Chains A and B, each alone.
Chain A
């Protein structure tokens, strides 16, 4: 069966520090991968998606970036965090179009 792993679960980082969040999917190949962000008490905002290795599409301008170095690995990064980067970051995947999203457990990031 397919599983998705996302880590760390929680993270507290100072303003200006770098960020690296990792997500891996098991049990499937060539999934579409997504990074969503959820501000406290708010909806889900799509940040990045990837349909293949090295293929990244950005949905909103920001100081975050994403990379997909391997088929089932998706990384969210920042060189310098801002206070506004705080939130709940969710990685998700699908194995075919219009199939449901499967979310990881998420990372709660607090930038202080």
Chain B
């Protein structure tokens, strides 16, 4: 299975909004509404930020939102804050009943 495609890096200034894309195929992202987004700070375990394309777990800021169009899912962070600087990974369920991750995106808050 091939990894989902994410931009290697994105950046934004405090208060701005950024969007991270996650492109797959009809066998994963496009085929199911089971896309998740995970935030990982250096040296820490990942944390689930969005599941099932657009749902936020309890405790996750509403500045984080998710969407999907066709084979591409997106994570948007609004009102960017310094604490949002981290690596972000998308993941998707696949037609093989497996899970595939994206390569990860490093978010820099300028």
Do A and B come together as binding partners?
A: no
Q: Chain B interface (Cβ within 8 Å of chain A)?
A: none
